């Protein structure tokens, strides 16, 4: 494996792509550490410190957003909104495609339609940035209106309309810059730029999470009360890592046979291949979508005086039993919705029939489409349950075993799923370059996935 990393530097094109990606990552981290003008950074840091002490180590939606932004939200930096507005806009576009026929038509037009949809997604991202930026400025003006127990804190040096407008423009520009940098990584670097930016932001929180783990271990050794929690956290880390790899790489291989065909004057023998159906077809999108959906009811209920003191807000409080139940339901529902919009069994069945391929024991045409739809529905259920378990596991660890949320979320939860999935995808792309230049890959068999079982339809 070490020789594979050395060989990666020997290939000029791959070396340039890796260096380009590292340079973009450095720019992303710089944008996450430049605070917006007019913010009292010392008072903001003290506010987050008090909230971490009173809310169990940074738990809550604010802690999740700060984790995905790489600490930029805590510093109210230029990239404080992170890449989340673009993800929100992408989700909304995916939801609108089955509803608006014009968008569905654009998606079926190939590369031209895809570029047009990306353009609309960027416009929608800008709108979401303005909305999120305005809400962020209002929170900076009066954090006590949103977070209980904060009181009156002056975070803005010179509040007023000028500060509001300029800050919203800066935050929107920061997010659009991250979107552009992510697209540059995808085109000229290694890996998927958007997910890689999220992963880099999560990894940047590694020192604080590791220090929290050290503090937990020190408290267990000295006090003798938390050592069991530390062991549980270590076991959870390895279990989630192994399960995440299995979920990311897991697939159901559907055998495909091709009939014999005439090639010139010769008769070619029928070939056997496989159609891989991914267990986790939707990736981490259901978790991100569920977090975004459950954010709005709590914010709306807090702003309405009639509902503020009726206890309804507690239903949507992060980490409660009601929140975990609703979170799991949203993840499962959106997993099926994502498969329904992205996986088209009728089109796959038609393509197989045109190519002379068929599934053994299944008639071509509509029976093949029904078989694929049933199979995908069953494996999606297993993937959705695993995603739900990963999403609620940090909340259970934080509630039942008094593990700080920043530690539990980093070493066993959504962040770990994102990191492992993106790392495997990036290594897969590097491996393709190595194999194309006749170098050994990262594993002894030369591929991230085992070669056993033959090829696959990709």
Q: Choose the most confident range, by mean pLDDT, from 83-97, 249-263, 407-421.
A: 83-97
What pLDDT does 282 receive?
Answer: 81
- With CA atoms as reference, report the closest residue to 128 among 88, 95, 168, 70: 88
- In angstroms, rounded to a whole number, what is the distance separating the alpha carbons of residues 158 and 167? 12
Domains and CATH numbers, the chain: 1-204 (1.10.3370.10), 206-261+270-412 (1.10.3370.10)
Mean pLDDT, the chain, integer:
78
Confidence of residue 420 (pLDDT cuts 50, 70, 90): confident
Residue 424 has pLDDT above 60, yes or no: yes
Neighbours of 377 (CB within 10 A): 14
Q: 161-188 and 111-141 helices cross at what angle (nearest 10)?
A: 150
Q: What is the pLDDT of residues 371-410, one digit of tens each?
A: 999 999 999 998 888 888 877 877 777 777 766 666 766 6
CA gap 67, 211 in Å, rounded: 15
Encoded tokens for 264: 């010139």
Q: Which two tokens stand for residue 169?
A: 């423009």
In the prediction, which pLDDT does 304 show?
66
Q: Comparing C-alpha atoms, which of 450, 447, 444 is closest to residue 3?
A: 444
pLDDT at position 457, please?
39
Rounded-to-integer distance, Cα 345 and Cα 125, Å: 31
Q: What is d(CA 428, CA 441) in angstroms, rounded to the nearest whole number? A: 9
Report which of residues 227 and 283 the model is more confident about: 283
Q: Is residue 61 scored above 60 in pLDDT? A: no
Query: Above 50 in pLDDT, residue 458?
Result: no
Condensed to tens digits (0 to 9), the pLDDT of residues 323-347 reads 888 888 988 998 888 888 778 888 8
State the Cα–Cα distance between residues 329 and 346, nearest whole angstrom.
28
Q: Name the residue with higher pLDDT: 120 or 57.
A: 120
What are the phi and psi torsion angles at 405 (to 5°)? Answer: -65, -40
**99-113, 314-328, 381-395, 431-445: lowest mean pLDDT where?**
431-445
Residue 290: band (very low, low, confident or very high) from pLDDT cuts 50, 70, 90 = confident
Contact 105, 78 (CB under 8 A): no
From residue 445, alpha-carbon distances to 116, 316, 449 in Å are 41, 48, 9
Residue 165, pLDDT > 70, answer yes
Beta partners for residue 252, in sequence order:
277
Q: Contact, 293 vs 330, CB < 8 A?
A: yes
Instruction: Give the three-class secondary structure for 98.
Output: coil
Q: Residue range 161-170: average pLDDT?
A: 91
Higher-confidence residue of 31 and 448: namely 31
Which residue in 146, 142, 139 sits closest to 308, CA to CA? 146
pLDDT > 90 in the chain, percent: 13
Considering only 325-329, 367-371, 411-415, 454-458, which range has the smallest mean pLDDT? Answer: 454-458
Q: pTM here?
A: 0.78
* For range 419-432, the mean pLDDT: 81
Distance CA 365, CA 350 (A): 6
Question: Which H/E stretch holds residue 128?
Answer: helix 111-141
* pLDDT the model gives residue 410: 67
C-alpha–C-alpha distance, residues 281 and 379, integer Å: 9
CA dihedral 56, 58, 61, 66 (to 10 degrees): -170
| Residue range 178-201, pLDDT digits in tens | 999 999 999 998 888 888 888 888
pLDDT of residue 339: 87
Q: Which residue did the predictor score with more confidence, 247 or 86?
A: 86
pLDDT bucket at 413, cuts 50 / 70 / 90: low
Give the whole-angstrom CA distance, residue 176 versus residue 31.
12
* Residue listed under structure tokens 């904060």: 150
For 342, residues 6+ apart whose C-beta sits below 8 A from its C-beta are 94, 281, 282
65 closest CA partner among 84, 43, 89: 84
Helix, coil or strand: residue 83: coil
Cβ atoms of residues 373 and 345 within 8 Å: yes
What is the DSSP secondary-structure string of 145-214? GTSTT------BSS-SHHHHHHHHHHHHHHHHHHHHHHHHHHHHSSS-HHHHHHHHHHHTTHHHHHHHHH
Tell me what percent of the residues of the chain surpass a pLDDT of 70.
77
Contact present, 408 and 213 (Cβ < 8 Å): no
- Give mean pLDDT, residues 283-288: 77
Tracing tokens 């992205």 back to the chain, one arrives at 342
Rounded average pLDDT over 26-47: 86
- Residue 408, CA distances (Å) to 202, 206, 235, 400 in order: 13, 12, 12, 12
Rounded mean pLDDT, 84-97 = 84
**Is the pLDDT at 453 greater than 50, yes or no?**
no
Residues 6+ apart with CB under 8 A from 376: 277, 281, 339, 343, 345
Residues linked to residue 254 through DSSP beta bridges, in sequence order? 275
Q: Rounded distance, CA 100 to CA 104, Å?
A: 7
* Residue partners of 168: CB distance under 8 A and separation at least 6: 130, 133, 134, 137
Task: Calculate the dihedral angle through the C-alpha atoms of 286, 289, 290, 292, rounding to the nearest 10 degrees.
Answer: 160
Mean pLDDT of 83-100: 84
Closest C-alpha to 450, from 246, 259, 303, 269 = 246
- Geometric angle at alpha carbon 285, from 33 and 413, rounded to 5°: 70
Q: Mind listing the pLDDT tens digit for each residue in 231-285?
A: 777 777 787 777 777 877 788 888 888 776 655 566 555 678 888 888 888 877 7
């Amino acid at each position: 494996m070490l020789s594979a990393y050395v060989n990666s530097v020997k290939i000029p094109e791959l070396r340039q792509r890796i260096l380009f990606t590292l340079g973009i990552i450095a720019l992303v981290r710089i944008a996450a550490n430049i605070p917006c003008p007019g913010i009292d950074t010392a008072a903001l840091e003290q506010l987050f410190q008090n909230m971490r002490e009173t809310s169990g180590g940074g738990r809550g939606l604010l802690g999740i957003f700060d984790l995905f932004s790489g600490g930029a939200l805590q510093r109210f930096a230029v990239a404080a909104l992170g890449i989340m507005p673009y993800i929100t806009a992408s989700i909304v576009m995916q939801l609108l495609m089955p509803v608006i026929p014009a968008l569905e038509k654009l998606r079926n037009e190939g590369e031209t339609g895809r570029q047009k949809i990306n353009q609309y997604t960027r416009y929608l991202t800008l709108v979401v940035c303005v909305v999120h930026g305005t809400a962020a400025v209002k929170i900076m003006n009066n954090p006590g209106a949103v977070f209980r127990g904060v009181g009156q804190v002056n975070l803005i040096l010179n509040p007023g309309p000028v500060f509001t407008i300029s800050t919203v423009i800066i935050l929107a520009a920061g997010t659009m810059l991250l979107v552009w940098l992510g697209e540059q990584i995808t085109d000229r670097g290694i890996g998927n730029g958007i997910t890689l930016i999220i992963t880099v932001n999560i990894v940047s929180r590694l020192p604080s999470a590791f220090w929290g783990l050290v503090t937990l271990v020190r408290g267990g050794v000295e006090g003798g009360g938390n050592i069991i929690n530390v062991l549980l956290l270590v076991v959870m880390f390895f279990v989630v890592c192994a399960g995440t790899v299995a979920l990311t790489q897991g697939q159901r291989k559907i055998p495909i046979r091709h009939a014999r065909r005439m090639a010139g004057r010769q008769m070619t023998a029928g070939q056997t291949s496989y159609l891989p159906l991914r267990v986790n077809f939707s990736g981490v999108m259901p978790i991100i979508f569920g977090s975004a959906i459950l954010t709005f009811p709590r914010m709306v209920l807090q702003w309405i005086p009639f509902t503020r003191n009726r206890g309804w807000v507690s239903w949507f409080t992060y980490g409660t039993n009601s929140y975990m139940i609703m979170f799991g339901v949203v993840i499962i529902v959106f997993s099926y919705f994502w498969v329904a919009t992205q996986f088209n069994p009728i089109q796959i069945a038609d393509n197989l029939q045109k190519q002379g391929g068929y599934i053994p024991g299944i008639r071509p045409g509509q029976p093949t489409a029904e078989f694929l739809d049933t199979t995908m529905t069953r494996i999606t259920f297993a993937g959705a349950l695993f995603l739900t378990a990963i999403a609620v596991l940090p909340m259970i660890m934080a509630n039942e075993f008094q593990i700080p949320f920043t530690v539990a979320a980093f070493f066993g939860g959504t962040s770990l799923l994102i990191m492992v999935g993106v790392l495997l995808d990036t290594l897969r792309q590097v491996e393709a370059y190595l194999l194309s230049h006749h170098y050994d890959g990262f594993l002894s068999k030369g591929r991230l996935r085992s070669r056993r079982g033959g090829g696959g339809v990709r």
